Amino acid sequence: MIRFFFSADPLRDTGRAMAAGALLVGLLLIGFGLLVFILKDLFAFLAAAVFFMAGFSAIIYAVRIYWLTRKIKPPSDDYRENVEIHYPDFFE
């Protein structure tokens, strides 16, 4: 004989699933908060290390951009033959 597990009230099952999810999230948040409270020196050190590395990364990026702009040669002259600059007249 085949038994079908059919719930007559899907709203009840949905509510139970949401309650279980909320309970799990709450327990995880409490556990993480307790871990941060106990190991605050470690987390402060990790946060400081992340900001320190981000600062060095930004400095290196700025130096690279500055160095590349210094390597670009300026044009030898600003005058070019057969070049006309046209300004559109918007009031025509």
Conformation bin of residue 6: beta by default, left when phi > 0, alpha when psi is -120 to 50: beta
Dihedral sign (CA 26, 31, 37, 42): negative
Percent of the chain at pLDDT > 90 equals 36
More confident residue, 57 or 70: 57
pLDDT at 4 over 90: no
User: What single DSSP character describes residue 90?
Assistant: T
List, for residues 70-84, the tens digit of each pLDDT value: 887 766 666 667 777
Q: Report if pTM > 0.85.
A: no
Residue 22: the pLDDT is 94
More confident residue, 67 or 83: 67
Could you tell me the two tokens for 4?
């079908």
Angle between helices 10-38 and 40-71 (to 10 degrees): 80
